[in-house]
A and B are shown apart, each in its own frame.
Chain A
Amino acid sequence: MSSNPAGVVGFSPASSGRQLGRGPASEAAARAKSARRRQLGFRAIALGYLALLLLAPVAMIFYRTFEHGLSPVWNAVSAPNAQHAFWLSIEIVAIAVPLNTIFGIGMALLLERGRFWGKSALGLLIDLPFAISPVVVGLSLVLVYGKTGWLGDWLAEQGIQVIFSVPGMVIATAVVSLPFVVRETMPVLRELGTDAEQAAETLGASAWQAFWRVTLPGIRWGVVYGVVLTTARALGEFGAVSIVSGRIEGQTQTLPLYVQDRFENFDITGAYTAAVVLALLALATLLAMNLLTRRAHRGTAI
């Protein structure tokens, strides 16, 4: 809208009665001017809102982190527990995100193309992780996979520890970030339609070939967007992981848990530094997506 002042003019029915005697040109100019003023107003409100809620707090963290120069930051970053937390976060994301991507594409295909009983119920179920508090997700996982949980005895017999170890943290992360790929892929899939796939079929492609060569490239930007959101969510997950991990320093502490731990132990620099690293990771993810989409538009391959 910002480049189209004419679009805003519609908001104000011109009071032509009072403007009698003015030429149509000056009337139009006056209208354009008031539209521009209104637009600037809207923009100021939007920016102010963002600044108060988002920009100022993030900027403050950056400022506080580097307040005393680089060496305390360096020390905080190279602390063994910080290093461990960083790599553990990366590890969990590297497992949970691909899992959710494969599951998400399959589920989107099922919900969009399939015809079966209970489809709408399944669609609702997919959104459940959005609705339920992550803490509840964590607790319910403990009830199933914990020592006294439903599967606890069986898992213990197999020698598998889920709760208070990495598998449980991966599961918790996967659950809370489950809906993104499904929800981002479904509308693109609908827009793609089935014509191109059927064309591939009549040209001799197997279902597998049609999927890899036609369907997946057709929905790839929806999938990429879903993956980016999943990654951001998985990186930042606190509540569910906090419960299933047991928060053991240097063992089951992810970056967000580490931030909380440092903060509670009055290691403000440590907390801020880890927070900045988290923010930078998220920023890198967003940037990567931005670059990818921009390349896609340039390639006219959308």
Chain B
Amino acid sequence: MAIEVRGVSKRFGDFVALEDVSITVADGALTALLGPSGSGKSTLLRIIAGLETPDSGEVVIDEQDVTASPARNRGVGFVFQHYAPFKHMTVHDNVAFGLSVRKRPKEEIRGRVEELLALVRLDGLAGRYPSQLSGGQLQRMALARALAVQPRVLLLDEPFGALDAQVRAELREWLRKLHEEIHVTTIFVTHDQEEAMEVAEQIVVMNKGRIEQAGAPRELYESPANEFVMSFIGPVNRLGDAFVRPHDIQILAEDDGTGTEALVERVVHLGFEVRVELKLPDGREIWAQVTREEAQQLELSQGQILSVRLPAPRVFAS
């Protein structure tokens, strides 16, 4: 179901959490709310869920104004950052909760829970308690619990924030596949631009309670609307008011007179990618990204003086 947020503002005391925020999420889309902490992304998610009331503005789900309706009537599935498990219930009872408060017949509940546990690959763990599960398993249980009531919209608050790097990468991949399978409109909050780029079809970049830019990951990377988006998404060199992507800097094999002199301060091998830290004659420091092969061909080494070609830098009107 499509979600629309229109002109929403929210204050907590003197702190402005959201200021006149509007977004549109298409039916079935997978969207990331991306921004640093304090940017208002979690508040926006909670307002969509009905866990927080906006000071002004509207929330529309499936062409229906839900601004005044409580969370339980909105048909949203919400996955909390720390999973919010019901610790006194087994995994089965956790997942069954939404169905059992709706007084569904026992048989139906059992069948549905089994189906969901298989979907999130927790079959066989139905009788365990949350304290006996790992972080990744808790995450998947929380997801199954949210999906049990067949929500119109799935909302996830920092879904991978509390997991270690490897489990995180696995779950990301898995979430994307799951979304392809069940196609429920999904919004997730993250502060990790890589995560947003990898999982989402659409990214909404937020900062200080406002939306900086919304669009497909590639669009944001290639044509950022402003300084904030440019520096928040993807690596960047800052030269005064101008910005240059590290992979746009060309290191020349021979000085043909078109380049600028630069001193190699450090060469860092990161596998396929090599990071070359350079110092320009005027003392400014930048870094360039080259492939392993390029680095070999150029025979890069520390202390070397070579010639680089800088692309036309991007300048944003402030």
Contact = CB atoms under 8 A, between A and B. Distances in A.
Interface of A: 195-196, 198-206, 209, 213-214, 217-218, 220, 300-302
A205 B102 CA distance: 8
A198 B80 contact: yes
B303 interface: no
A195 B145 CA distance: 14
A202 B71 contact: yes
B157 to A, nearest CB: 10
B131 interface: yes
Contacts of B85: 196
A196 B101 contact: no
Contacts of B86: 196, 199-200, 213-214, 217-218
A203 B97 contact: yes
A213 B99 CA distance: 13
Given A196-B86, A213-B97, A204 B102 contact: yes
A201 B71 contact: yes
Sort A-B residue pairs by CB-CB distance and give the 9 closest, nearest first: A195-B84, A203-B98, A199-B84, A202-B78, A217-B88, A205-B101, A301-B88, A201-B71, A204-B72
B129 interface: yes
Nearest to A220: B88
A198 B88 contact: no
A97 B102 CA distance: 34
Contacts of B129: 300-301
Interface residues of B, number: 30
B119 interface: no
B288 to A, nearest CB: 45
17 contacts: A195-B84, A196-B87, A198-B51, A198-B71, A198-B78, A199-B78, A199-B145, A200-B97, A201-B70, A202-B146, A204-B102, A205-B98, A206-B101, A213-B86, A218-B88, A300-B132, A302-B88
A204 B72 CA distance: 4
B49 interface: yes
Contacts of B132: 300
B112 interface: no
B59 interface: no
Give the most central of A202, A217, A301, A302: most B CB within 10 Å: A202
Contact of B145 (A203, A206, A302): A203
B220 interface: no
Nearest to B82: A195
Give the most central of A203, A206, A301: most B CB within 10 Å: A203
Contacts of A218: 86-88
